[in-house]
Amino acid sequence: MAGRLVFIGGGDVLLKLGFPAQEQIVDTKYGKCRFTKAVVDSVEVFSVHRHDPGHHFAAHSVDYRRIIAAAATLRPDCVIGISICGSYCDDLDVGDTLFIDQVIDLTKKRIDTFYDTPGDVRHINVYEPICHAKRCRMKGAAASVRPLKERQITLVCIDGPRLSTRAELNWFRQIGGDVVNMSLAPEAFLARELGLCYVSISMVTDKADLAANDVTVKDMVTAVKRSETSFLELLEHLISSFSDLDFAPCTCSRAPTEAIFSL
Ligand SMILES: [Zn+2]
């Protein structure tokens, strides 16, 4: 095989792409996780529905440890987190595809570490929470088929399930955020804890007018339906070009062992 990818999405990416896929159940200490699996252009691809079919679990109720632990057993070259997000910046519009660079984690109700056992204290380095090497190459491959924002994108992650207030959106912008969603944390951090390369690709589905915002879920669903085909074409391109990408070395795999605190 020329590479192995795991997609975590708000739907099952492989099923949406229409590839003939098999089911693969992975058992972890946190429970079973159902993946679909396909070989696409000699790349082994797995995908999992972050919320379970039917959007059964809201983002704050997802067991991220179960998903990431299961993904780790598949020994992927990269985990790609697919999500939607809301913009509150002038230059980020509905339908834009973003490769997230940074995260401001404002979640409070989620189990966000594997290392919560006394005697196994680790302080994982997440200064760059996304694998820089993988993101750069994948973003470059994506930019060859569509224009992308060149600047850095910072995502604010909130618990939800409610949407943000106008005051919160103003604050997110003041503290350096560009977009907001409910699913990047702790997913990216847990992936780093297990030494996995993680890349986040997010589609803007709503844009707040901070003077008079009235974003609704209906707006988001409409945006997803309008942009989904184009977004999926981009993912298919990334899969088919993955084996040709020349990735620079990264330190993600060393993160767990370099985080052990002992005097
Ligand atoms: Zn990496």
Q: Could you tell me the distance, in angstroms and rounded to a whole number, from the CA of residue 31 to the centre of ligand 1?
A: 26
Q: Could you tell me the distance, in angstroms and rounded to a whole number, from the CA of residue 98 to the centre of ligand 1?
A: 18
What average pLDDT does the segment 27-31 reach? 96
Q: Could you tell me the distance, in angstroms and rounded to a whole number, from the CA of residue 65 to the centre of ligand 1?
A: 19
User: How long is the chain?
Assistant: 263
Q: Could you tell me the distance, in angstroms and rounded to a whole number, from the CA of residue 138 to the centre of ligand 1?
A: 12
The model's pLDDT over 170-195, given as tens digits with 9 standing for 90+, comes to: 999 999 999 999 999 999 999 999 99
Residue 63 lies in a domain: yes
Q: Could you tell me the distance, in angstroms and rounded to a whole number, from the CA of residue 250 to the centre of ligand 1?
A: 5
What average pLDDT does the segment 245-252 reach? 90
Domain of 227?
A: 4-258
Q: Could you tell me the distance, in angstroms and rounded to a whole number, from the CA of residue 189 to the centre of ligand 1?
A: 12
Q: Could you tell me the distance, in angstroms and rounded to a whole number, from the CA of residue 77 to the centre of ligand 1?
A: 8
Contact yes or no for 85/205 (Cβ under 8 A):
yes
| Residue 243: per-residue pLDDT | 86
Q: Could you tell me the distance, in angstroms and rounded to a whole number, from the CA of residue 183 to the centre of ligand 1?
A: 20
The model's pLDDT over 203-231, given as tens digits with 9 standing for 90+, comes to: 999 988 766 667 788 888 888 888 888 99
Paired residues of 202 in beta bridges: 83, 98
- CATH number where 162 lies: 3.40.50.1580
Q: Which of the four pLDDT bands, split at 50, 70 and 90, describes residue 245?
A: confident
Q: Could you tell me the distance, in angstroms and rounded to a whole number, from the CA of residue 196 to the centre of ligand 1?
A: 7
| Residue among 80, 42, 72 nearest 194 (CA) | 72
Count up the domains in the chain and report the number.
Answer: 1
Q: Could you tell me the distance, in angstroms and rounded to a whole number, from the CA of residue 188 to the centre of ligand 1?
A: 11
Residue 211 lies in a domain: yes
User: In this model, does residue 254 exceed pLDDT 60?
Assistant: yes
The model's pLDDT over 131-166, given as tens digits with 9 standing for 90+, comes to: 999 999 999 999 998 889 999 999 999 999 999 998
The model's pLDDT over 114-135, given as tens digits with 9 standing for 90+, comes to: 999 888 889 999 999 999 999 9
Residue 92 lies in a domain: yes
The model's pLDDT over 72-115, given as tens digits with 9 standing for 90+, comes to: 999 999 999 999 999 999 999 999 999 999 999 999 989 999 99
Residue 201 lies in a domain: yes
Q: Could you tell me the distance, in angstroms and rounded to a whole number, from the CA of residue 247 to the centre of ligand 1?
A: 9
Phi, psi dihedrals of residue 96, rounded to the nearest 5°: -65, 145
Contact yes or no for 78/131 (Cβ under 8 A):
yes
| Residue 121: per-residue pLDDT | 87
Q: Could you tell me the distance, in angstroms and rounded to a whole number, from the CA of residue 75 to the centre of ligand 1?
A: 13
| Residue 213: per-residue pLDDT | 61
Residue 263 lies in a domain: no
Residue whose token pair is 């229409």: 18
CA distances 152 to 100, 101, 197, Å, are 7, 6, 19
When the pLDDT of each residue in the chain is averaged and rounded to a whole number, the result is 92
Q: List, as ranges, residues with CB under 5 A of the ion ligand 1.
A: 131, 197, 250, 252
| Residue 1: per-residue pLDDT | 54
| Residue among 109, 35, 103 nearest 73 (CA) | 35
Q: Could you tell me the distance, in angstroms and rounded to a whole number, from the CA of residue 82 to the centre of ligand 1?
A: 17
